[in-house]
Structure formats: structure tokens, C-alpha cells
Amino acid sequence: MKPFVVAVVAAVAIALGASVLLGAVQELAYQKFQTSAVRLSSPGTNLVGLKWNGDPTPADITEMTRDKAEEERLDAKGS
């Protein structure tokens, strides 16, 4: 029983040590892979805006439907 307890304690110690070491060394991808040609001011808000929640508004849905209908009408006219 004693070797098992020693093994568990050693495994926990190794896991905690690895966690601390990796936490200190790890960098976020947008920090690690920066280039001069890429402008990322604030990852997560730079593509869609601060107020975007992912849900389209009724006006957006109406506009998308209207655009799709117009596209289909033009395709039918061109055929």
C-alpha cells in the first residue's frame, strides 16, 4: 500500500509542477505568432464588433431573405 501512496503523491507533484511550468511559459496564439502585416487590436471583437451576439435581428433576416429573392430573380432572368 505504501508504494501506491508514494506513486500517487509523486504523480500529483509532477502534475502540479508541469502545470506551473507550462503556465509560466505558455503564450497565447495571437501573441506568439504576431507579424508586421497583421493588425489584431483586440482578438474576439476585431471581426464582428463589440455588440455582436451571434443572433440575427428581424431586420437582418428580412434583408437576407430580400437579397436571396433578388439573387434568384436575377438568376432566372439570366437563364
Rounded distance between C-alpha atoms, residue 67 and residue 74, angstroms: 11
Range of weakest confidence among 13-17, 26-30, 38-42: 38-42
Owning domain of residue 73: 2-78
Residue 30 predicted with pLDDT over 80 = no
Q: What is the mean pLDDT of the chain?
A: 79
Rounded distance between C-alpha atoms, residue 29 and residue 21, angstroms: 18
The predicted model scores a pTM of 0.39
pLDDT of res. 3 = 96
Alpha-carbon distance values, 24 to 17, 37, 52 (Å): 11, 28, 33
Contact present, 17 and 11 (Cβ < 8 Å): no
Residue 1 predicted with pLDDT over 60 = yes
Residue 20 predicted with pLDDT over 90 = yes
pLDDT of res. 56 = 72
How many domains does one find in the chain? 1
